[in-house]
Amino acid sequence: MSQLVEGVPVAKAVIKLGKALLDPSSVAIVGASDDVSKTTARPLRFMIEQGFEGRIYPINPRRETVLGLPSFPSLAALPEVPEFVFILTGTATVIDTVRQCGELGVAVVCVLSGGFSEEGYEGAERQNELSKVARQYGVRVVGPNSIGVVNPRNGFFATANAAFAEPQVPIGTTFVASQSGSVIGALMTRAKAVGIGFAGLVSTGAEADLTLGEICEATLDDPGISSYALFIESLENAGSLVRFAALAAERGKGVSVLKLGRSDAAAQLSVSHTGALAGADDEADAFFAACGFVRVDTFEALIESTPLHGVLPMLPPGHKPRVGVITSTGGGAAVLVDQLEMRGVTVVKPSELLFAQFAENGIDVGHNLIVDLTLAGTRHDKVLAALGAMQRSGEFDFIVFVIGSSARLNPDLAVRAIAESVEGNTPVGAWALPDALESLKLLHSAGVPAFRTPEGCADALAGLLARSGVQTEALAQFRSVDAGLTEVLDEVASAAVLGAVGVRVPRSWVLLRGDENVIPADAYPVVVKALSADLPHKSDAGAVILNVQSQGDLDAACDRIFTNVAAYDADVTVDRFLVQEMVTDGILELLVGYRVSETVGPLVVVAAGGVNVELYRDSAVRLAPVTSQVAAEMVSEVRAIVLAQGYRNGPIGDVDSLVETVVALSQLAVQAPDVIEAEVNPLVIRPQGNGVFALDALVRRRGLSPNKQLQSHNPESELRM
């Protein structure tokens, strides 16, 4: 396990927090209403109806009783210090009430009220004050703007979410944490419809104190929780997720995430909605991959993917997942195969040996990609035999049964047989072509992951099959950054920084203007460039001359660059030149980059060179540092790499060196924490065995050297990543 968590188990205080959050012995509800039509009556009503066994104290100075329970005028008037306080009153009194909770020694306070970070400057100030009070007294706060906390296992329904008026909220082993309050109710109802329950649901609100990650961490040693479903609008508090991710992985508890912001519009929305800044979507992808989380795209896959965590083991690195599809309905199965393949999941055909076994067992199927039992697919014995043969074959990592009409009409046929196959040594899941909620419930209760839609099934499976372990080294390097003042280094200084971690540049010389400039004769042809941190766009300035062949041409080139730059920008005087050997055997130019993101920490990027990264978003991003294996994965994700892999009988490039260079660049996260950004563009890939070379390099680091231009955030000199 990583140094991040080694010797740092979930602390006692955190476990205590988890208990106070989900299983408090006493709860006070400040502002509880006796009028059942009011939102503020809900938490008390729900807890009474759901039979919460802890002690409940309504606080309402204007009443003797609230919903039949004796009412108290204030927290101070209670016969004991409540473990959990839910504040339902208006914005104005929240901070005072939290302070009072702190003075009394309450463990957890949940704040329903809005009027904080989502409401401009004043609201943000108010939220800062709330955070300060919480820290000052050590009282832990959920919210503000939290719709509450629900534990279906013990009737602790401390929530104002109307959905929990539901009589039978099913219990499961997945814990839900959501930055949107309405989503917890919606997930519960949608999960209930297919027979999935939850072990707890928390609306994390604006996270003035407790973050989503901290809340999840507090539940990690709850034996009733085996997986997590997270609804995330912003990664502003990513740090706490890092810790949770490492600890969850250690415990083998899987995590599914739905995060807003796949589109730019939704990213902006999450600003207006919770007052938090959403990170860029590729940063989020990289972050979740490093955390070992499964990011899903469809709303229902957030629910339906959770049972997969328990049954589908992580595949060994480099293993291409093999999914088998068996069905009673060929047309339906084809719909699923289409959805799976679109998401990169390979459906594999049974071997001839397996077809022979089918025949021996009297199972008559065509030798096709899909095992189509047709009518036999509604016979319990045939399904059992066919599934058993597939499970024993070892030819599949996962098998999906696509059930036809019998799922709706006669679950005792195929559905029961699938449920009975749950003990086989290959996990099985199911999608029902018709509307068949009762069958989905039956399957879920038997422990078989089942899906309502082919899109949800494919989304969940693609995510689970692609997951790999946490990138522990990267998580250990996680840090949020306030870049402050930074400086951009010139190309030679940049190359020195990158050279220290192992990025190679061609043989180079720095020449001074006016000096006698002699380089070895065998160095020609060379490239001559102005050397200056003040010229971010050298080519535009006429400050790069290629293919210089001789000493005479070299002198002329230096003169020309001097003149060009003077004409381009009178403020820049070129007094140094960088001369490099030409790379004449380049096969492909890419971009590799490194950046410390404000939200998710150090990142490394591989991308198509030139304009293609912008036009086609042809890039791969991961948290840094990366292992060779992750770097190789990244390289294979960049589509342009095929051009260096013998495309149209072309040459084969040194992809191994490319992978090494990505690993090297990512080591900046460990070895050069002052570097904020680094970009090699282009990185040229030469033929196999000849390596890769950085042809241009730019590094931005924190702090200022003497005599360097101050560049705190000058868009002109921005590195593109």
* Contacts of residue 28, Cβ cutoff 8 Å, sequence gap at least 6: 56, 57, 58, 59, 72, 75, 78, 82, 84, 85, 86
Q: Residue 368, interface with a copy of itself (CB under 8 A)?
A: yes
Query: From the list 55, 63, 99, 262, which residue makes contact with a copy of itself (rule: CB under 8 A)?
Result: 262
- The least distance separating a copy of itself from the CB of residue 176, rounded to whole angstroms, comes to 13
Q: Which is nearer to a copy of itself, 76 or 409 (CB)?
A: 409
Helix, coil or strand: residue 308:
helix
Q: Which is nearer to a copy of itself, 253 or 538 (CB)?
A: 538
Query: From the list 639, 671, 703, 714, which residue makes contact with a copy of itself (rule: CB under 8 A)?
Result: 639
Give the interface segment with a copy of itself, choosing from 57-65, 71-79, 362-370, 575-583 (CB under 8 A). Answer: 362-370
Cis amide leading into 682 (omega within 30): yes
Tell which positions 291-350 bind a copy of itself, by CB under 8 A.
298-300, 328-335, 337-338, 340-342, 346-347
Q: Which is nearer to a copy of itself, 90 or 331 (CB)?
A: 331
Tell which positions 537-566 bind a copy of itself, by CB under 8 A.
none
- The least distance separating a copy of itself from the CB of residue 194, rounded to whole angstroms, comes to 9
Tell which positions 77-136 bind a copy of itself, by CB under 8 A.
none
- Full DSSP string of 583-596: --S--EEEEEEEEE
Q: Which is nearer to a copy of itself, 231 or 398 (CB)?
A: 231
Q: What angle do CA 206, 210, 216 make, to 5 degrees?
A: 110
* Main-chain dihedrals φ then ψ at residue 159, nearest 5 degrees: -145, 150
Q: Considering only CA atoms, which of 488, 482, 542, 481 is closest in space to residue 714?
A: 488
Q: Considering only CA atoms, which of 307, 46, 257 is closest in space to residue 156?
A: 46
Tell which positions 577-616 bind a copy of itself, by CB under 8 A.
611-612, 615-616
- The least distance separating a copy of itself from the CB of residue 612, rounded to whole angstroms, comes to 7
- The least distance separating a copy of itself from the CB of residue 602, rounded to whole angstroms, comes to 27
- The least distance separating a copy of itself from the CB of residue 153, rounded to whole angstroms, comes to 21
Per-residue H/E/C for 542-555:
CCEEEEECCHHHHH
Query: From the list 8, 77, 162, 510, which residue makes contact with a copy of itself (rule: CB under 8 A)?
Result: 162
Q: What angle do CA 633, 639, 642 make, to 5 degrees?
A: 95
Q: Which is nearer to a copy of itself, 25 or 368 (CB)?
A: 368
What are the structure tokens assigned to 26, written together?
Answer: 């006493």
Q: Residue 71, interface with a copy of itself (CB under 8 A)?
A: no
Q: What angle do CA 184, 142, 80 make, to 5 degrees?
A: 115
Q: Which is nearer to a copy of itself, 521 or 611 (CB)?
A: 611
CA atoms within 13 A on the CB side of 255: 31
Contact letters for a copy of itself, residues 429-458 (x by CB under 8 A): ----xxxx----------------xxx---
- The least distance separating a copy of itself from the CB of residue 133, rounded to whole angstroms, comes to 26
Q: Residue 647, interface with a copy of itself (CB under 8 A)?
A: yes
Secondary structure letter of residue 4 according to DSSP: T
Residue bearing tokens 């991040």: 4
- The least distance separating a copy of itself from the CB of residue 191, rounded to whole angstroms, comes to 8
Tell which positions 178-237 bind a copy of itself, by CB under 8 A.
178-183, 185-186, 189-190, 192-193, 231, 233
Cα–Cα distance for residue pair 471/317, rounded to 1 Å: 13
Contact letters for a copy of itself, residues 409-428 (x by CB under 8 A): x-------------------
With the CA atoms of 242, 247, 250 and 251 taken in that order, what torsion angle do they form, in degrees rounded to the nearest 10?
-130
